[in-house]
Chains A and B, each alone.
Chain A
Amino acid sequence: MNAIIVSAILGVVMMFSGIFTKHKSTITLTAIAALFILLGANLLNSYGIFSIQVNTHELLYFNKLGLYFNTILIAATLIFVLLSGKEIENVGINTAEYYALIFFVLCGTTILTSFNGLLMLFLGIEIMSIPLYILTGAEKRNLKSNEASLKYFLMGAFSTGIMLMGIALLYGATGSFALSGQSVLPPSVGIPGASFLQAGGLILLFVSMCFKVSAAPFHFWTPDVYDGAPTVFTSFMATIVKAAGFFAFIKVFDANAALLGPSWKILLSIVIIATLFVGNITAVFQRSIKRMLAYSSIAQAGFMLFALYSYNDMAYQGILLYTVAYCLATIGFFAVLMKVKDYTFDGLNGLAAASPALAFAGTVFLLSLAGIPLTAGFFAKYYMLASVVKAGGALWIVIAAVLFAAVSVYYYFKVIQSMYFKEGQPELNEISTGFKVGVLLLAAVIITIGVLPSIVLNWLYF
């Protein structure tokens, strides 16, 4: 409960911070401080030292996993703000409001990590989404930003509608909004598993969740929105928000997946393969790195979906590890990218010569995204694949996945190529020493996790 309340309050605080100071940097500092507080609050909660007790009537419940995941998300946000605070200030004049919205989003993600029942799921997703519509449109004079925001909004609302219909059908079948996973059919009835109404509801729910985590064929909003949104918020959306969405997705179907019976795996395989296919293949021919990353984030989602394919311990460890690896790498790389004025591949030509630190860090992030061994990304993918193999059967889907991973190497390494092997003079924004140190530290963290993933996982079982 701590995180929800604190984030809400801090959101309000940030909102008002704009009144008291006109210095954007001060606002950023406030935000950083606030994030530290939030992180502290959540940690206190997760270690059970101090937590605000509220009777939520089983609408929310806080378990280690959720709190831990939430901690990851908040920490990621902290890193995000530390690295990209400058860019947030550059988006527009309403810096304070942007931070406020970010905190409201965090409130939403917290709900998504602790919801217990479809009502809170619905509220959490909305609380998370509505600020994002605005952040996407934050560059008011930029038509792309407007367009992205409107598209995001319309399609988001539509998917909400789908989700609600799903919830309604589920309610009709079961008479409750709990994530029961109980079949309403009496055992006497022939087919075990979900009744038709229930199944329809679950499928609609599944579709809307796929939409939220941008899994094909419900991913279409992602490239446009990520491309149009201010880059700094793209990095926020592509990482923290998406991860939260995934956690919710997994949580919803943890109990209910079984109800759909064998066809559940079929549906999921379709979605996984489609996602990997679309994400990787389309990313190959992008000219803008930003858009390429949008597609690659779709591809990464494809890998994360394996956690749903195989609900086992490795899947949960994997999704945690994946979230960490993916968030860190993506945030880091976006931070590097934002130092470059031109987001096309040629824009990065000769970056290695211009700023070795940036180029090196960027390379590490990309290697991690590509899942090269001895980076965090490798173990993330490794756990996902391993969980599937462990769950048994379906070696073909794993093989397909690794082939697509090979494709992903293609476009990630194209960036490395332009940074290292191509001649050019990239025009850069001014780069502070602190920033360099920051990205290098982040790279170091990624490599450390890559060598000893257990340090992340062991924390899970404190």
Chain B
Amino acid sequence: MSKIVFLVPLFPLLGFLVNGLGRKHLSKSAVGIIGSGMIFLSLLASSYLFGMVLFHSSPIADGKPLESVVTLFNFIKTDAFTIPFEFQVDQLSILFLLIITGIGFLIHLYSTAYMKEEEPQHYARYFAYLNLFIFSMLLLVMGGNYIIMFIGWEGVGLCSYLLIGYWFKNGDYNYAAKKAFIMNRIGDLGFLLAVFWILYRLGTVSYSQVFTHIHQLSAADITAITTLLFIGAMGKSAQIPLYTWLPDAMAGPTPVSALIHAATMVTAGIYMIARSNILYTMAPATQTLVAIVGLATAIFAATIALKQNDIKKVLAYSTVSQLGYMFLALGVGAYTGAVFHVMTHAFFKALLFLGAGSVIHAMHHEQDIRKMGNLKKYMPITHITFLLACLAIAGIPPFSGFFSKDEILVGAFAKNPLYYFIGVGGALMTTFYMFRLYTLTFLGNFRGSKEQEHHLHESPSAMTFPLIVLAILSVVGGFIGIPEVFAADKHWLEHFLSPIFAESAKLSETHHLSHSQEYIMMGVVTTLIVGVIIFTVNHFKKFSAADSGEATGFGKILANKWYIDEIYDKAIVNPLNAFAGLLKNVIEKTGIDGAVNGVGKLVAYGSRQLRLVQSGQVASYLLIMILAMVVFFIVWFNDITITKLVEKLF
């Protein structure tokens, strides 16, 4: 097994090196083949591993596959602790491996066509970055301890930075990239502190030891650690308050948005929490926090998405809100549900982005949906796949989204009905904005310019193929996790992941609600969703360029994303800058350096004054001598004060 394990990340690394170093010499096609080929190879490798895990894990009672951990070498070894460079391949990581390499491969394929206009050098750069990203992401999920995870964690952050700023001529893009990196950095600090905490208490960061020695941690420790880890997740997975970078990150090429900012990277936080599920299960306080933050994000982002007109922005906010759902799931302890949703979401959200990409591609980088419409006529495949994706995300049975979202909502209900109802509200909003998007883009009449219309065409096969594949996946993807209301223990995913969550499962009693309840809930929700869909489609069919005016009132606030960015600038960025300026111009210059120079100035001043004592007058010189002598005498009779001296005279 071990050999193969190393191959998985090795291929993308190779791809990165080859494309990166040979970017001046390789032809576009070569670059494309290398780039996506490497990912395909590592997809093969990981599916092989998947097979092994599947095969090995089932017979064993505790479900742990043989030698799930392989060590490469000792990364850091001090007297205090040892941090090996180790990979852990078990059910959780292998699942993510498949998602990453699979979708990664599709998106590479897609990109070969999407990025055609780029000149070779940058084309190669693009694929190099992409491969590097896959490499880091694999490191993240395969890492056998928190440090390796952190390496990947930072690596994907770097790649997203590079890819968002891919068109580096554009200042705004660079700004967005920087923003993304720094906001991630804030989260990373939390992550690091958590790691230090673990290391400080347990002297190790390897999952195997940490989770087995967890009982050595006090409740306070666990709460602190989990909270800090969650802060890290906030940054990476764009949760309140650190979500604002994700919408801006849409500056990057659309495939990048699909891969990094929808399917894979942003789910790192979920992966991390799922990985350390046992910690969270033992920290109910943090769990509540996670649930609330997740839910809040889900609703909040959904509201913003309602009024966005940029096709990618809508998708971005929907991503944020879907991530919110996942955290809700984690918060309520439905880890499987979270992972499940990660997977399905990866399918349909990637599909949506790619579809959007294909639209943008066709519209010559027009992203405003108010200027689109009636595209189904020109790009059928895109249209169909997009529609399927919308249905999936809206959660219409039997599309994948339905199962995962349903599982989450059920879990939420089990924990606290309030969660459930709010969650449903979010789901309805999701449906609304998705179908608003769909309708405005594909239905109605075309509102773009003439020559745009003239150029409209279906995208090449390299782009449509991934769409189709993903569409299939998002349709059928749900069937790996059928809730037992339909069929008793058909929930394959739950079985598969059970070893991972076994410990948590022991600790948390999962009271299942009765089937009747569930049926009712599903029915109600589904009908509501369908209703919303019908309403939305009818409402926006008749949308024309005329009423694409600026939103007003509450709509305006939503359109401006609750002014969160502005508030951040006012509340944090500007004061910080001002303070830094104060330090630079006042404290440093006049304060500290002033003090240092002040000493010098003092000496100079003293010098100038002392020179005056040297008056050139013999008499004054002698006068001082005499007085000094008198002083000396007085010093010598140090026991005799002047007064005594006087009375001795007379």
Which residues in A have some Cβ–Cβ distance to B below 8 Å?
151, 154-155, 158, 162, 199-200, 203-204, 206-207, 211, 217-218, 220-221, 223-224, 260, 263, 266-267, 270, 278, 281-286, 407, 410
Bound: A212/B608 CA distance, A: 26
Which residues from A are CB-within-8-Å of B636? 199, 203, 260, 263, 267
Known contacts A154-B618, A282-B614; A267 and B635 CB within 8 A of each other:
yes
Contact (Cβ within 8 A) A217 B618? no
Give the distance to chain B from A163, nearest Cβ to Cβ, in Å: 12
Known contacts A224-B614, A263-B636, A282-B611; A155 and B603 CB within 8 A of each other:
no
Known contacts A154-B618, A260-B636; A285 and B625 CB within 8 A of each other:
no
Which residues from B are CB-within-8-Å of A203? 629, 632-633, 636
Contact (Cβ within 8 A) B614 A223? yes
Give the distance to chain B from A219, nearest Cβ to Cβ, in Å: 9
Contact (Cβ within 8 A) B625 A281? no
Q: Is the interface of A mostly helix, strand, loop or mixed?
A: helix
Contact among A155, A223, A281 with B618 in the assembled complex (CB-CB below 8 Å): A155
Contact among A217, A266, A410 with B628 in the assembled complex (CB-CB below 8 Å): A217
Most chain A Cβ neighbours within 10 Å, of B603, B604, B607, B635? B607
Within 8 A of A (CB), among B604-618: 604, 606-608, 610-611, 614, 616, 618
Known contacts A155-B621, A220-B614, A223-B614; A263 and B607 CB within 8 A of each other:
no
Contact among B607, B610, B616 with A224 in the assembled complex (CB-CB below 8 Å): B616
Q: Tell whether B622 is near chain A: CB-to-CB under 8 Å.
A: yes
Give the distance to chain A from B649, nearest Cβ to Cβ, in Å: 14
User: Nearest 3 CB-CB pairs, A to B?
Assistant: A220-B621, A285-B607, A284-B607
Which residues from B are CB-within-8-Å of A284? 603-604, 607
Which residues from B are CB-within-8-Å of A223? 614
Q: Tell whether B638 is near chain A: CB-to-CB under 8 Å.
A: yes
Contact (Cβ within 8 A) B638 A263? yes
Task: Count chain B residues whose beta carbon lies closer than 8 angstroms to a beta carbon of A.
Answer: 21
Chain B's closest residue to A411 (CB) is: B607
Q: Is the interface of B mostly helix, strand, loop or mixed?
A: helix
Contact (Cβ within 8 A) A221 B633? no
Q: List 15 extra interface pairs beyond A218-B628, A267-B632, A285-B604, CB under 8 A.
A: A204-B629, A206-B632, A207-B625, A217-B628, A218-B625, A220-B614, A220-B624, A220-B625, A223-B614, A266-B638, A281-B607, A282-B614, A284-B607, A286-B611, A407-B603
Known contacts A151-B618, A155-B621, A267-B636; A281 and B628 CB within 8 A of each other:
no
Chain B's closest residue to A279 (CB) is: B610
Bound: A267/B634 CA distance, A: 10
Bound: A188/B606 CA distance, A: 50
Contact flags B575-616 to A (C-beta < 8 A → 1, else 0): 000000000000000000000000000011011101100101
Known contacts A218-B628, A285-B608; A200 and B633 CB within 8 A of each other:
yes
12 contacts between A and B (CB under 8 A): A158-B625, A203-B629, A207-B628, A207-B632, A220-B625, A221-B621, A263-B638, A270-B632, A281-B610, A282-B611, A284-B604, A285-B611
Chain B's closest residue to A264 (CB) is: B636
Which residues from A are CB-within-8-Å of B632? 203, 206-207, 267, 270
Which residues in B have some Cβ–Cβ distance to A below 8 Å?
603-604, 606-608, 610-611, 614, 616, 618, 621-622, 624-625, 628-629, 632-633, 635-636, 638
Bound: A211/B621 CA distance, A: 11
Contact (Cβ within 8 A) A282 B610? yes
Chain B's closest residue to A261 (CB) is: B636
Give the distance to chain B from A447, nearest Cβ to Cβ, in Å: 30
Which residues from A are CB-within-8-Å of B606? 281
Give the distance to chain A from B644, nearest Cβ to Cβ, in Å: 14
Which residues from B are CB-within-8-Å of A282? 607, 610-611, 614
Bound: A285/B608 CA distance, A: 6
Which residues from B are CB-within-8-Å of A267? 632, 635-636
Known contacts A211-B625, A217-B628, A284-B604; A278 and B635 CB within 8 A of each other:
no
Which residues from A are CB-within-8-Å of B624? 217, 220
Bound: A206/B633 CA distance, A: 11
Bound: A218/B627 CA distance, A: 11
Which residues from B are CB-within-8-Å of A204? 629
Give the distance to chain A from B49, nearest Cβ to Cβ, in Å: 66
Which residues from A are CB-within-8-Å of B628? 207, 217-218
Which residues from A are CB-within-8-Å of B616? 224
Bound: A221/B616 CA distance, A: 9
Bound: A223/B610 CA distance, A: 13
Bound: A207/B629 CA distance, A: 7
Which residues from A are CB-within-8-Å of B622? 155, 158
Give the distance to chain B from A204, nearest Cβ to Cβ, in Å: 7
Chain B's closest residue to A260 (CB) is: B636
Contact (Cβ within 8 A) B614 A263? no
Contact (Cβ within 8 A) B610 A278? yes
Chain A's closest residue to B636 (CB) is: A263
Give the distance to chain A from B608, nearest Cβ to Cβ, in Å: 5
Which residues from B are CB-within-8-Å of A278? 610
Bound: A158/B623 CA distance, A: 12
Chain A's closest residue to B614 (CB) is: A223
Which residues from A are CB-within-8-Å of B635? 263, 266-267, 270
Which residues from A are CB-within-8-Å of B629? 162, 203-204, 207
Give the distance to chain B from A223, nearest Cβ to Cβ, in Å: 6
Which residues from A are CB-within-8-Å of B638? 263, 266
Bound: A283/B606 CA distance, A: 11
Which residues from B are CB-within-8-Å of A263? 635-636, 638
Give the distance to chain A from B632, nearest Cβ to Cβ, in Å: 5
Chain A's closest residue to B602 (CB) is: A281
Bound: A220/B608 CA distance, A: 16
Most chain B Cβ neighbours within 10 Å, of A281, A283, A410? A281
Bound: A203/B622 CA distance, A: 17
Give the distance to chain B from A278, nearest Cβ to Cβ, in Å: 6
Bound: A204/B626 CA distance, A: 10
Bound: A260/B637 CA distance, A: 10
Bound: A285/B632 CA distance, A: 29
Which residues from B are CB-within-8-Å of A270? 632, 635
Bound: A220/B622 CA distance, A: 8
Contact (Cβ within 8 A) A281 B603? yes
Most chain B Cβ neighbours within 10 Å, of A155, A158, A218, A282? A282
Give the distance to chain B from A298, nearest Cβ to Cβ, in Å: 11
Bound: A220/B626 CA distance, A: 12
Give the distance to chain B from A418, nearest Cβ to Cβ, in Å: 17
Bound: A398/B632 CA distance, A: 22
Which residues from A are CB-within-8-Å of B607? 281-285
Give the distance to chain B from A258, nearest Cβ to Cβ, in Å: 14
Most chain B Cβ neighbours within 10 Å, of A204, A220, A260? A220
Which residues from B are CB-within-8-Å of A281? 603, 606-607, 610
Bound: A437/B307 CA distance, A: 90
Give the distance to chain A from B638, nearest Cβ to Cβ, in Å: 6
Give the distance to chain A from B645, nearest Cβ to Cβ, in Å: 12
Bound: A284/B604 CA distance, A: 7
Give the distance to chain B from A149, nearest Cβ to Cβ, in Å: 12
Chain B's closest residue to A150 (CB) is: B618
Bound: A407/B624 CA distance, A: 25
Bound: A327/B547 CA distance, A: 98
Chain B's closest residue to A211 (CB) is: B625
Bound: A223/B625 CA distance, A: 15
Chain A's closest residue to B610 (CB) is: A282
Give the distance to chain B from A413, nearest Cβ to Cβ, in Å: 13
Which residues from B are CB-within-8-Å of A221? 621
Chain A's closest residue to B625 (CB) is: A218
Bound: A278/B618 CA distance, A: 18
Bound: A276/B632 CA distance, A: 18
Bound: A260/B604 CA distance, A: 37
Which residues from B are CB-within-8-Å of A158? 622, 625
Bound: A407/B610 CA distance, A: 15
Bound: A270/B628 CA distance, A: 10
Give the distance to chain B from A305, nearest Cβ to Cβ, in Å: 15
Which residues from B are CB-within-8-Å of A199? 636
Bound: A392/B633 CA distance, A: 26
